[in-house]
Amino acid sequence: MDIMFFVGALTFLILAPILGGLLSGCDRVLTARFQSRVGPPLLQPFYDVAKLWHKEKAFSNPLEIIFTTAYLILIAFSGGMVATGGNFLFAVFSLALAHTFLILAAYSANAPYAHIGAERELLSVMITEPILILLAVGFFMVSGSFETYHMLTLGTPAIILLPGVFIALIAVLTLKLRKSPFDISTSHHAHQELVKGVTSSLSGRSLAKVEIAHWYEMLIFLCMIFFFFAGYPVLSAVAVILAFLLEIVIDNIFPRVTWKMTVKSLWIVTLVFGVGNIVVLGILGGIV
């Protein structure tokens, strides 16, 4: 079991950045098509990270090296826990700690836009954590364990038992993938007043580590969607692909909203769909 866990974790650590980079490339290509542009090549995210990695080492604050490295390590660790059947609740708290280090990296810079981005990233964590905890609770109620391995052995797909939690997760996924209308802390596109935000003070290898961590986190959330359809590989793959394409469509057709509206709308979705689903499931008896 220990050997399989080690092999699974190592496989995730190697493949996740590759798949994440390819998905980011697909995102850029499809976004360009939506906007009637040719767009960059599919492998452009890898070129960007390679360029950042080989830039001259110049740091606005030496602490950013420590904070961004801790951010990347904790994100990768969380992904390894999720992908290898580990404790999902532990992975959720590890993700929160990882983003705390990203926030500290932004705060450590003497840059006003970085500070604004850090404050909004903190709001993002406050928005995301409730639904992830509800998701962990929902997984426990339907499988009897916080370990993601047990989600793969369910007789009934979790989407049937946790449809409200799934809707809330899709809403939060828009925020975590930094898509409009909820890209409040940072964005790659100039369609809001804060383009880079939390990463505006980062450059070189520090920024490259943040980009790689984003690829890891993208795969983590897509794995969460996969668990809702576990036991049906084809359906799971289709659901993940459709969710990813849906986020790209949303990003291109919805204008961004203010941070206040982001907090209100996502907390309402979490309360109505997420909490409502857990309450109903508890009334019906929990584990099915």
Give the pLDDT of residue 241.
92
Average of per-residue pLDDT values in the chain: 85
Contact in structure between 111 and 200 (CB atoms under 8 Å): yes
202: left (phi over 0), alpha (psi -120 to 50) or beta: beta
Q: What are phi and psi of 285, to 5 degrees?
A: 120, 0
CA distance 25 to 40: 8
Give the pLDDT of residue 97.
92
Helices 112-143 and 163-176 meet at what angle, rounded to 10? 160
| Mean pLDDT value of segment 168-179 | 88
Note the pLDDT tens digit of each residue in 4-57: 667 777 888 889 999 999 999 998 888 888 888 887 888 999 998 999 888 776
Of the candidates 188, 191, 168, 170, the one whose C-alpha atom is nearest the C-alpha of residue 178 is 188
| Mean pLDDT value of segment 75-93 | 88
Give the pLDDT of residue 132.
92
pLDDT band at 287 (very low <50, low <70, confident <90, very high): low
| Mean pLDDT value of segment 56-68 | 77
Q: What are phi and psi of 133, to 5 degrees?
A: -65, -40
Percent share of the chain, pLDDT over 90: 28
Q: Measured over all CA atoms, what is the biggest interatomic distance in the chain, rounded to whole angstroms? A: 60
Note the pLDDT tens digit of each residue in 245-280: 998 888 888 877 788 888 888 999 999 998 999 998
Contact in structure between 184 and 120 (CB atoms under 8 Å): yes
From the number of C-beta atoms within 10 Å of its C-beta (0-12, 13-18, 19+), residue 155 rates as: exposed
Return all residues near 113 (Cβ < 8 A) that are at least 6 apart.
194, 196, 197, 200, 201
Amino acid 35 reads Q
CA distance 270 to 112: 31
CA distance 199 to 263: 21
From the number of C-beta atoms within 10 Å of its C-beta (0-12, 13-18, 19+), residue 258 rates as: exposed
Q: In the 8-state DSSP scheme, what is residue 270?
A: I
CA distance 114 to 223: 30
Q: Judge whether residue 84 has pLDDT over 60.
A: yes
CA distance 120 to 274: 23
Q: Which two tokens stand for residue 112?
A: 């006003």
| Mean pLDDT value of segment 171-194 | 74
Q: Judge whether residue 191 has pLDDT over 80.
A: no
Burial 179-192 (b: 16+ CB within 10 A, else e): bbbbbbbbbeeeeb
pTM: 0.89
